[in-house]
Amino acid sequence: MKKIITFGTFDVFHLGHLRILERSRKFGDYLVVGVSTDEMSIDKKGRPPIYSFSERCSILMALEVVDEVFPEESLEQKREYIEENSANVLVMGDDWKGKFDHLQDICSVIYLPRTPAISTTAIIEKIRD
């Protein structure tokens, strides 16, 4: 079985999130998703997520393309997460291009283009306006 792993916050779930998960799943048989904890989201983005960690996990697990989710507590633990999940392929958005190439010794690393003109930050700003 070929396992794919990807990571994200997945707050205010939108079409861009769905597309990257669908495209990720095409690289193997089983998709594991590391979901940023609420604490990690605050550290990364300077604000708490709109939806809690458990709500975001529930949304992801409702998707047919997602087989398993787990808490991502640190950006620096990618290697451990890949090894713990026996992942063969790491898929990330191309906004991370080159940042995980050092992991190619344990898995394939693929960067996918983001869905144009869609971002959680832009959606939140639009709602605020």
pLDDT digit of tens for each residue in the chain (129 aa)?
A: 999 999 999 998 888 899 999 999 999 999 999 999 999 999 988 889 999 999 999 999 999 999 999 999 999 999 999 999 999 999 999 989 999 999 999 999 999 998 666 665 555 565 566
CA distances from 30 to 7, 60, 64, 66, 87 (A): 14, 14, 11, 8, 9
Q: Under a CB-based contact definition with an 8 Å cutoff, are residues 72 and 33 in contact?
A: no
What's residue 5's pLDDT?
98
What's residue 3's pLDDT?
98
CA angle 115, 120, 121 (to 5 degrees): 120
What's residue 80's pLDDT?
98
CA 30 to chain CA centroid, nearest Å? 14
> Structure pTM?
0.89
What's residue 14's pLDDT?
87
